[in-house]
Structure 1
């Protein structure tokens, strides 16, 4: 065990402290007798924070240097610096760093505040009248206008001001009412946090970015549904040969995890070893959550035997597609001050709100997937029919195949963690011959353009003039403005084992008409290559999911809600009552009953 032995310290009975004279030399240990003593001053600021932004030496540095050299002990501003004891070897431990600094080079070429002030004052010395007043450090003139940071020249009547645009070529030009855009209201949460909810944990996105976990290839458990062939004629669609988007009445099922009969059958099977059950849309959102900006929530149910079901709420954010969520200036609400005093009269403002654009993008995404499938050819049927379609009276089924796959998220063989995921495929690419099996299974997604001149467009180019010539620039802009949405599309395709992802570029026929759209082009993307282009790490996504699973495993059985903060990059984990969904529905019914009926018009 480590120990420390105190040295022997001789004392003087007549005086306080160690003995003086010959006894002092004997009291000092022999290993310290030849080391010279470096005096110090009580005014030395030990622990002072270094200011690296200050140009040149400070007054304290100059005073210390002058004191060491013996020239002066007086501060230039009138304050005195106490001198060291007379006759002390002050240069014993002096450090000169001039030679060391000669090997360094300046990386940051930005001008410091002191340099700008010195330049402004030197430029204004020869000015007369308003020139001297304009070169002062105050940013406001006599009339209250802000003076630009420009050079001044001496003149008789005033200063000659160089335009700011000639000094800052790359500066962004301010738009109309930009000062009001910073005063937007905070976003509202996707779900109201009740007072009886108990917050168990909170995770910020910075921590989520650092998580990593490698997961092996999944195991297919079952497959259901039927797929139609993809119509190859849409590969030839371009801006010059665009096609109108035709709405089609098809039935597409996307129930939550707890309402899936196949998942319930797998969970109750005696051979089941999985503890986590989830759908691909919820799993992709969790894996891409650090890219999300808008609020969302996930309901988690943990049973007594340790099984965990991740569910979505009806009409929640999982059922809709966002637009320009990651743009520098996303779409604005109707009551935003930038829309003016009467936004209800502004047609462009009414149809380009985040909620209106989300409904439009969801409509476009669904109908494009229905339209590009060739229903005249024989469909490819999986081993089981659609588990959610009960009778033919419900309508014609859309092209959709469900794959139930099991992923192993275990980090230790003694503590296995397995997950069952329901994934979706949208179509297949036929083989070389009519009797050949499908060559590829694909997913179908869309990117939509609403109005390149409207607020919230995110600097996207006009597709009618740039899509055919510079498709790469259009895709790069969409990756920036819709990073979260594209990452979710890509992860869903990877989870389903799709060979390719078909992306359609849909635009409005008229920028002021959100109900008529045209198909302006299509592109093929391999999911893993697209993830690499977007700098998305699949290992990071699995690490995020395993961290959330560990939070639920450490909690007691019950019901929980995972909430994305609407205005901060934070995820909160709440313990909620088991009937909180029912309470919300009862409150809505009571409000509807209590609402007064509208008077009938005569």
Structure 2
């Protein structure tokens, strides 16, 4: 028997009967494929990691290769040899990019629909603040100047916006009135719609006048003597501000059909300046036949003066500062107290030398009131809001004047509207970056006034509107500060500045035609409704007005409780 030759037997078999991998000549599709090294010690990542920001040659966008950005200690298998399998692109496709001409918004929406909200205050729209909170916009990259001031040069991180505001409470304000389940919402008006309204009207005419005015003491216009401060004294005077439907003069004018719409200047000015408001407020509207009465509730927010309502870092009320003298409610009470006493202090009281109107004060009863009557003049003025002669619409508003000023030579007496701005603590939270009045009011008066226009835009707009409605010749603004920042019971008068109301309105960019357009829109809206009672409420956290239909006896219980408390 010959020697066993295994190779001879294998070669004699047909090719299709071979067992095992084919010879290289049998399948040439795998030729020129390099061998990828593999080690059993290699750590495998995910089978398909779609979250990795891949780039060319298996590298991410930062140029790092071979590591997963979610687990840097895990090596991505094959990252070091992936370039062996890369194909050469025939026409350099990597140099091409998709052109998208559609604008993509970078604005982030959040926080009650008011735009971008960062840690801290969610604002109503405006520029970024010095502390980093933005008001309704987006923040851009800090300038090179800020980077150099930060000490890290052009390659540094620059200024960090909002890092100090991480622990600030959100401004979730409460509504001025409780919305009950039986109230029916009829309309919702955004402030953007109100800003587009316009209506040209005349300056109005006087229908009736009541009361008297003391003359203004001009010594308060002089700069205070250095080291000597004028103290704000408490003035016990009788002052009246009844709502529209309780005014006996308005009731008589309504019976005579002198107009279809009736309001007071405090209520009407709030409606006219609604787009500037931040805090919640409400107005009661009563329709009787073809007449509308714009009223306020007893104890309404319209009777109180706000403080830094429009500031980027406005006073905020929390559980920790409810009893603080710098809480929003305490500051409002303090500002209201200052305004009432300041207007009475800067006049010279004299029974012989005063300006008297045609009729006496309609609210004063000498048998019931023991306090002397305050200097106050009431003008009932009529404005024509008609769009056509066929459908006349007239408004009568009760306006107020605080003092008179004697003219020089042949000039006639002038009427004044007197208000007071107050400073509580320039270093406290909620001051709005205000300057120190004691050191800056004499040298930088313009900067002080500009800061107050920014922080109290709604309040100053209301005061200016009331002065224009009353046709006042001059508006006097007093600057009153605390004698001690820690004591809200003692105040000093630092100075008084006078402005013409229309000139001051131009400085504040206050449009009277837009204000009258807002009033006419609300009037048309209510006149299209059936007779009844309605409430117009400003949303506490959104720039929105809502009109509700309420039962006829709404707020009557509150009035009865208030009357019982006064009788007791």
Q: Same fold (TM over 0.5)?
A: yes
Q: Which of 201, 216, 223 is the matching residue for 1:230?
A: 216
Q: 3-state DSSP class of the match of 1:329?
A: coil
Pick one of 281, 288, 308 that aligns with 2:273: 288
**1:207-222 → structure 2 map (5 Å cutoff):** 207-222=193-208
Q: Is the 8 A contact 2:171 2:316 kept in 1?
A: no
Does the Cα contact within 8 Å between 1:295 and 1:566 map onto a contact in 2?
yes
- Give the C-alpha shift of residue 238 in structure 1: 2.8
Within a 5 Å distance, the mapping from 1:185-584 to structure 2 comes to: 186-238=172-224, 240=226, 241-269=228-256, 272-303=257-288, 305-335=289-319, 343=321, 350-376=324-350, 378-394=353-369, 395-432=371-408, 438-584=412-558
1:219 to partner: Cα distance: 1.6
Shift of 1:379: 1.5
User: Aligned pair in 2 of structure 1 residues 559, 322: CA closer, same or farther (>3 Å)?
Assistant: same
Distance 2:436 2:401 in 1: 31
- Alignment partner of 1:351: what SS? coil
Distance 2:346 2:562 in 1: 40
Tell me the alpha carbon deviations over residues 125-174 of structure 1, each in whole angstroms, 9 at most, x when there is no partner: xxxxxxxxxxxxxxxxxxxxxxx9999xxxxxxxxxx9558768994776
Please list the CA deviations of residues 253-299 of structure 1 after superposition, one character each: whole Å capped at 9, or x if unmatched.
11000010000000001xx2411000011111111110000000000
- Number of aligned residues: 428
- The CA deviation string for residues 219-247 of structure 1, in whole angstroms up to 9 with x for no partner, is 21100000000001111143724300011
Q: Which residue of 2 aligns with 1:180?
A: 167
Partner Cα separation in structure 1 for residue 167 and residue 442 of structure 2? 37
Q: Secondary structure at the match of 1:548?
A: helix
Match of 1:12 in 2: none
SS in 2 for 1:215: coil
By how many angstroms is 1:310 displaced? 0.4
Q: TM-score, normalised by structure 1?
A: 0.67
Cα 1:451/1:578, change in 2 over 3 Å: same
CA 1:589–1:306 in 2, change beyond 3 Å: closer, same or farther?
Answer: closer
How far off its partner does 1:190 sit?
Answer: 0.2
After superposition, the Cα gap between the structure-2 partners of 1:540 and 1:150, relative to the gap in structure 1 and judged at 3 Å, is: closer
Tell me by how many angstroms 1:578 deviates.
0.2
Unaligned 5+ runs, structure 1: 1-70, 82-95, 97-109, 111-147, 152-161, 336-341, 591-602
Closer, same or farther: CA 169–320 of 1 in aligned 2, 3 Å = farther
Contact 1:508 1:514 in 2 (8 A): yes
Alpha-carbon spacing, 1:263–1:476, altered in 2? closer, same or farther (3 Å): same
CA–CA distance in structure 2, aligned partners of residues 219 and 479 of structure 1: 30
Query: 2:190 touches 2:545 (CA, 8 Å); kept in 1?
Result: yes
Q: Distance in 2 between matches of 1:149 and 1:563?
A: 40
Offset at residue 412 of structure 1 (A): 1.0
Q: Which moved more, 1:233-242 or 1:397-406?
A: 233-242
**8 Å Cα contact 1:225-1:400 kept in structure 2:** yes
- Which is richer in helix? 1
SS in 2 for 1:580: coil
2:75 corresponds in structure 1 to none
TM-aligned CA distance change 1:310 to 1:328, over 3 Å: same
Residue 212 of structure 1 and its aligned partner are, at CA, apart by 0.5
CA distance in 1, matches of 2:429, 2:312: 11
Task: Give the TM-score taking structure 2 as reference length.
Answer: 0.71
SS at structure 2 position matched to 1:544: helix
Runs of 4+ in 1 over 3 A off after TM superposition: 71-77, 148-151, 162-176, 583-590
SS in structure 2 of the partner of residue 540 of structure 1:
helix
Corresponding residue of 1:121: none
Larger radius of gyration: 2
Question: Partners of 1:150 and 1:257 in 2: how far apart?
Answer: 54
- Tell me the secondary structure at the aligned position of residue 350 of structure 1: coil
Contact 1:256 1:311 in 2 (8 A): yes
Root-mean-square deviation (CA), in Å?
3.1
Please state how far the C-alpha of 1:380 moved relative to its aligned partner: 1.0
SS of 1:508's equivalent in the other structure is: strand
Does the 8 Å contact 1:334/1:350 carry over to 2?
no
SS in 1 for 2:427: coil
Quick check: 2:475–2:499 contact (8 Å CA) kept in 1?
yes
